[in-house]
Amino acid sequence: MRIFLLTLSLLFIASCSSDDPSDPRVRPMVSTKGVSLSPRSFSSGDFVQFFELAETAGRFITWTGNWTDFANPQSAAEVVASLSGTYDYEPVIVTSWFSTETGAPLQEMNDSTKQRFLEYTTDFVRRHRPPYLVVGVELNTAYDFSAANFQDFASYFPQIVDCVHTTSPTTKVAPDFLWEKTLGYHGGLFGGTNDTTNTQFELIAAFPDADFIGFNSYPSLIFAHPDSIPTNYYSRISSITNKPVAFFETGWHTANDIPGWESSEAEQVRFVERYLEMTSALDPLVLIWPFLFDPQTSAPFNSMGLWDRTSGNEKPAWSLWRDAEI
């Protein structure tokens, strides 16, 4: 839901370990889980802590941002990809041509820009060989802004896949969609009106060359309580596509500062329980909780972390996510 464009200075980070038996870091099994780059702060100590905790949160760490960062050796994309050799994780790279807020193109969509994208992307993939590359985040918003832009991108997508596969045959490439809008949910905290008869399933079908289909999903923007989410909320995906799927963003807030949408740490726990249960039948390639620590952004996202940014303490949902054997 949020693309964080983070540019970092070169960081010299020492690997740390702990013998404290109460240390919340517990080594996980190989899994499909992970988190996005989301430290408490970008101080050296907090940055190290993030990577140590992320090791126990699952197998993956995602970076999300503008593809022009691929050419910046000091970018967060470079940091996440490079440090996978220091810490025990696999980097997942998520980038887009469009703003997830407005759907407008981030760069002019012409042949020159498309060629530059291929050059930047193939060079980055050649150096780091990420297992998964998402190109196009929450493309529903791009479609709503301009159906012509969306179709232009969909027509260009097979060329991206071919170039990436030629450069790194093991890298899988996908578009990404916001599941709520795909289902026709525009009400709640989205501010519109729900119309589940007006779905956007056809947008997924526009990418037959994709290796898999990615989704972001924030049910808390539509439903006031985790138990209000329909049981078949995610299983419906299997009737829309026969491709493998992955979930790159989800979350449930813990604050009670939005009237009518008050929440709690107990509700976040319940959502994690239901989310893992409801997505399990899809056998997703990747499940990402994007906020390890509460992010510095607007409500309700600012309390979706598994760790409290202010106190520095873990929330109850952290151990549930960490210990889930998926």
User: How confident is the model over 118-132, as pLDDT tens digits?
Assistant: 999 999 999 999 999
Q: With beta carbons less than 8 A apart as the criterion, state whether 156 and 138 touch.
A: no
Render pLDDT for 287-304 as a digit per residue (tens, 0 to 9): 999 999 999 999 999 999
Share of the chain above pLDDT 90, in %: 89
Q: Does the pLDDT value for residue 237 go beyond 70? A: yes
DSSP conformation letters of 88-137: T-EEEEEEESB-TTT--BSS--SHHHHHHHHHHHHHHHHHH--SEEEESS
pLDDT tens digits, 47-93? 999 999 999 999 999 999 999 999 999 999 999 999 999 998 999 99
- Residue 41: per-residue pLDDT: 96
Alpha-carbon radius of gyration of the chain: 19
Residue-level pLDDT at 31: 74
- Domains (range + CATH), the chain: 33-323 (3.20.20.80)
Q: What DSSP designation does 232 have?
A: T
Give the pLDDT confidence of 134-157 residue by residue, as tens digits.
999 999 999 999 999 999 999 999
Nearest by Cα to 93 from 84, 102, 105? 84
pLDDT for the residue 193: 97
Token digits for 82? Answer: 């490079």
User: What pLDDT is stored for residue 91 in this prediction?
Assistant: 98
Whether the predicted pLDDT of 9 surpasses 90: no
- AA letter at 103: G
Q: What is the pLDDT of residue 1?
A: 58
Q: What is the pLDDT of residue 326?
A: 87
